[in-house]
Structures are given as structure tokens and as C-alpha cells.
Amino acid sequence: MIIIQVKEEESIDRALKRYKRKHRNIGVMKELRRRKQFTKPSVKRRNEIINAEYRLVKFGPKD
């Protein structure tokens, strides 16, 4: 749970902006979307290999 302390003489809009920034930075929505659907470990590994091959072709080997 995200807790934002509203400081003295701080507008509620400013506190809401800090809350939204913190919410975005900790990746709550990204984690929820990831957990929404289960992917088998074999499929996850296969996608990692495909992505690595793509990056190797596109950007070339790192020297």
C-alpha cells in the first residue's frame, strides 16, 4: 500500500501528483497486468531466447 504524507501548506493537487508519480514508479499496474495471465516457464524461456536472438541480429554482438 502506498502512503503519502501530506505536508503542511501543501495543496492536495501537489500531494496527488506525488502519489501518482510514486504509483507509476513502483510499477503497480505493470505487476497487475503481469499477474493477470499465467505463462508457463517453458514459454517464458522460449520468449527470452527469441528476444535475445532478435537483439543479436538487430544490434550485433557486443565486443
Q: Is the pLDDT of residue 2 over 90?
A: no
Q: Please give the model's pTM, rounded to 2 decimal places.
A: 0.50
User: What are 33-54's pLDDT values in tens digits?
Assistant: 989 999 999 999 999 999 999 9
Domain boundaries, the chain: 12-59
Confidence band (pLDDT; 50, 70, 90) for 63?
A: low
Q: Rounded to whole angstroms, how far apart are CA atoms 1 and 28?
A: 10
Which contiguous run of DSSP H or E holds residue 21? helix 12-26
